[in-house]
Structure 1
């Protein structure tokens, strides 16, 4: 019997990577990609566990799941930090002014 690629195994890996990269976008994109990757990984794991001899590519699912968890944690922390900073600096305008001052001090 011929083994086939596990459905969405590559996409899960890509979304796991994007969840880590997305933590740099105030955490929003990382949370979205992380949740999607985890849901897809759960479904792929159930399919694989039903008939493991029929599928290949489970390594991508495991790796993508681990990356999604890491990206979700980093993105969640970044999102919480961004929200706290908005309240500390008094809204978006105050936050932008504080970030400009930080960038000027770095030059």
Structure 2
């Protein structure tokens, strides 16, 4: 019998890669792409667990799963950082580059 391909392996790989590449966009896109990629990867993991010898693109599945998890973690960290920045600097000062620089220097003790 010919080996089949996991149906969501390529999609989870692409979404995991997108999650990794877009986490810096306020964290939202990294989290979104990462969660969707992880869900697709977990669906394939169930199929793989039932019939481990029937599929041949297991490596794509694993890489997609890892990239999705990394994208989610980085996205959450980026989101936390941006929320922290807005809370520390203030939403009214986020458009003023000099105010941001001055406030960040105060926070980190740079003279």
Q: TM-score, normalised by structure 2?
A: 0.83
Distance 2:60 2:52 in 1: 14
Which whole-Å deviations, capped at 9, do the CAs of 1:48-93 have from their partners, x for residues lacking one? 11112221111111111111111111111100010111111211x4
**Residue 101 of structure 1: how far off its partner (Å):** 6.1
Matched, 1:94 2:90: no
Query: Where do 5+ consecutive residues of structure 2 fail to align?
Result: 102-111
CA contact (8 A) 1:89 1:98 kept: no
Moved over 4 A (4+): 99-102
- 3-state SS of paired residue (2:26): coil
Q: What TM-score, normalized to structure 1?
A: 0.86
Report the Cα offset of residue 100 of structure 1: 8.4
Stretches of structure 1 that go unaligned for 5 or more consecutive residues are 103-107
The aligned runs of 1:1-107 (5 Å cut-off) are 1-91=1-91, 93-98=92-97
Alpha-carbon RMSD: 1.7
Larger Rg: 2
Larger relative helix fraction: 1
Q: Quick one: distance in 2 between partners of 1:18 and 1:72?
A: 11
C-alpha offsets along residues 7-61 of structure 1, whole Å, 9 cap, x if unaligned?
A: 1111111111111111120110000011111111111011011112221111111
Number of residue-to-residue matches in the alignment: 101
